[in-house]
Structure 1
Amino acid sequence: MKEQLLELSKQRRSIYALGRHLTQTPDELADLIKKGVKLAPTAFNSQTTRAVILFNDKHEQLWDIVAKRLESEVPSAEAYQKTLEKINAFKAAFGTILYYTDMDTVHQLENDFALYADNFYDWSEQAQGNAQFTVWTSLAENGIGANLQHYNPLIDDLVKEAFGIPDGWRLRAQMDFGSIESDAGDKDFMDDGDRFKVLK
C-alpha cells in the first residue's frame, strides 16, 4: 500500500516555536495556501471556505489585536503576562492565515436545497477541516511549521474592521506559520480498540 500522504500527515504537527527564517517568499506561500484551500473537498462543491493571508505588518497587527482584546478577559496582571507571552510567540511567526466561512453562501444553499438545509452549516465546518488540513500538510511538506488557534468570536469585530472583512464571512480559526525553531515532540495515540471497528 502506498502511504506517501500518511507520511506527510506525520509531519503535520502543532509547532509553537516558530520564526521567520523561511526561504519562500510571501507570494510563493500565498500561492501554496490558495491552492490548498481550492483543492480541499466541499459538499455540493459549495466552496464555502475563505482565507485571509497576513504577512509583515498585517500579521503583527492581528496578534496585537488579540493581545489587546484578551487583556480584559484574563483575571489578573500575572495571568495576562502569561497570555501575552503566548501571543508574542504567535506574533514571532512569519505569517497568519485567517480561515472564514462565507455564511451568505451557506444560507443560499439552505434556500436552494431545502431538503438538506439542516446540513449545510455542518458541511461548511467539514470543509473548514479539509482546507485547514490540506494547507497545514502542504506547509509541513515544505518544512514550514504551523499551529491552529481559535480566538474567535472574541476578536471577530476588531479583525473585521482592521482588515475589511465582508459582513457575511464568519471567522473560524487562525493559523500562524513560520520556520520550525523547535520540534513538536512525540505524539501519543489512543488504543485502536477504543477508536475503530472493522467489520468483515
Structure 2
Amino acid sequence: MTNLFDLQQTRRSIYALGNHINLSEEAVSDLIFKTIKESPSAFNSQGSRAIILFGDASKTLWNDITANALKSLTPAENFPATQAKLASFANGVGTILFFEDQAVIKGLQANVPLYADNFPVWAEQSNGMAQYATWMALAEAGIGANLQHYNPVIDDAVTAKWNIPANWKLRSQMPFGSIENPADAKDYNNDTDRFTTYDK
C-alpha cells in the first residue's frame, strides 16, 4: 500500500485525460463506491451520493449539457476556449457526480435540533472528504482526475437526463481517465504563514 504522504503528493489536478486505463468499468465503479462508503460523515449519517457516467454519458454531460448551459453565460469570443476545456473532460473514461442527500440533512435537523444549523455545514465537509478520498483512490490506481463545480447551472438538466432524486443536491463533478500529460510542478506557500504549534 502506498504511503499516505506519497499518495497526497501523487494526487494532482490532471486536465489532459484519455480513455486508456487498465481497470474495467466494474472495477472502477467498485473502487469509487467502496471509497465513498468508507468516508466519514457527521453522526455516521452517510448522506453522500454518487453517480458515475462512463463513455457517451460522460461526453453528454460535458459536450452537450454543460456546453449548452455555459453558452449563454460566456462571451462569444471566449466560448471556444470553454468548449475546449469541456472537451478535455469528455476525453476521459468517465465522470463522477457527487451529490448530498438533503433528506438526510433534514432528518438530522429534526432529530437533533440543537445542531440544526450545523448539519448543512457538516454535510459539505463530509462530501468534501468523500471527494478527496475518491481522488486519492484514483491516483493510487494510476488514474488521473480533476474536480469541477458547474453546479447549479447544470443541475436541472442533469436531474432530467439521469432521473436524479429531487432531494439529491449536486455538489461537484470529477472527470477521470488516463494521464495523458502530468500536472506541472506545484508551488507551496511558506509553512510559517500557514502552520504553528503550542505546547501550553
- What interval of TM-score do these two structures reach, taking the shorter chain for normalisation? over 0.9
Partner of 2:16: 17
User: 1:65: which partner in 2?
Assistant: 65
Q: Which runs of 5+ in 1 are unaligned?
A: none
- How do 1:1-200 residues align onto structure 2 when only pairs under 5 Å count? 4-63=3-62, 64-76=64-76, 78-200=77-199
Name the amino acid aligned to 1:102.
Answer: D
Structure 2's unaligned 5+ residue stretches are: none
Q: Which amino acid aligns with 1:48?
A: G
Q: Distance in 1 between matches of 2:166 and 2:30?
A: 25
Q: Match for 1:71: what amino acid?
A: K
Mapped partners of 2:120, 2:5: distance in 1: 28
The alpha carbon displacement at 1:61 in A equals 1.2
What amino acid is the match of 2:156?
Answer: D
1:23, CA displacement in angstroms? 1.2
The one-character-per-residue Cα deviations of 1:39-97 (angstroms, maximum 9, x if unpaired) are 11111001010001110121111112101111111122x21111000000011011000
State the alpha-carbon separation in 1 of the partners of residues 167 and 149 from structure 2: 19
Aligned-partner Cα distance in 2 for 1:169–1:69: 20
- TM-score normalised by length of structure 1: 0.97
The range that moved more, 59-68 or 139-148, is 59-68
- Aligned CA RMSD, in angstroms, stands at 0.9
Q: How far, CA to CA, are the matches of 1:126 and 1:51 in structure 2? A: 15
Aligned structure 1 segments of 4 or more residues deviating by more than 4 angstroms: none
Residue 185 of structure 1: CA displacement? Answer: 1.5
Partner SS state of residue 151, structure 1: coil
Aligned residues: percent identity?
A: 49
